[in-house]
Structure formats: structure tokens, C-alpha cells
Amino acid sequence: MAKILIVDDSETVRDQLKDTLTKNGHNVVEGVDGALGYQTFKENPDVALILCDVNMPNMNGIAMCEKIFLDAAIAKKPPIFMLTTESDPELMSKGKSFGVIAWITKPYVEAKLLTAITKILSMNKS
């Protein structure tokens, strides 16, 4: 299926997402914060989707999205889902300006998340 990058400082969340995604045929790569998420993305340009938290050490999720969005060397920007406890409209607006297409609050419903991922991936096939 697709390669998906999970960026979250919670090992538990990463493990749950990885388990869900791999059971559904996806390949998963991980980053434990925005800085490592950005580095992992640069090393895996075939990532089709990014699932990212907002609040993380070293570099938060919004800053990571901005860095990807503004990086001229990245020709194809993947869709980004924020998966976070944050629901501030200002943060959501800022994220949208840097390529965030969905904002999902934790705890998430697995079936709804998978449906959204499937829909976005099917729309973005090249």
C-alpha cells in the first residue's frame, strides 16, 4: 500500500498507529519529534502521508510542517494529518497554511482514521 510517516514523541501512540497501519498493509517509518520527523521524511521521499503530533520536544509538529512546506528541494509535498490533543483554531489555521489537510483529536477512532487515510491516499495516487 503506502509508506506513512508517524511523528509523535509518545512511543505508545507510535506503536498503536504502527500496529494499525501495518495490519492494513501500510509501510511505516517513524520520528520521535519534529526534527527527526523532518530528517526521516528527507530520507524517505516516497512517504505518501504524514501523521504528526503538535506538542513535541526539539521541534513541534507545526514547525516541522512549515519546514517541509518551505523546503524548495521537496518537489512533492505529502498530505499531513495532525493527530493531537490540541484543538486551538489558531493552531489549526497555521497548520493548514503549511499543508495540514486534516486535524484529528486524540483519542482517535481507529476506523475513522483508516477511512480518512484511505480516502486521502486514493485521491493522491500519481
Could you tell me the three cell numbers for 17?
498507529
* pLDDT at position 33: 97
CA–CA distance, 109 with 2 (Å, rounded to integer): 20
Range of the domain at 18: 3-123
Tell me what pLDDT residue 125 has.
Answer: 67
SS (H, E, C) the chain: CCEEEEECCCHHHHHHHHHHHHHCCCEEEEECCHHHHHHHHHHCCCCCEEEECCCCCCCCHHHHHHHHHHCCCCCCCCCEEEEECCCCHHHHHHHHHCCEEEEEECCCCHHHHHHHHHHHHHHCCC
Q: What is the CATH number of the domain that holds 14?
A: 3.40.50.2300
pLDDT of residue 74: 87
Q: Give strand pairing partners of 82.
A: 52, 103
pLDDT tens series, the chain, 126 aa = 899 999 999 999 999 999 999 999 999 999 999 999 999 999 999 999 999 999 999 999 999 999 999 999 888 899 999 999 999 999 999 999 999 999 999 989 999 999 999 999 998 765
- Model pTM score: 0.94
One-letter amino acid at 80 equals: I
How many domains does the chain fold into? 1
Cβ burial, residue 126 (10 Å; 0-12/13-18/19+): exposed
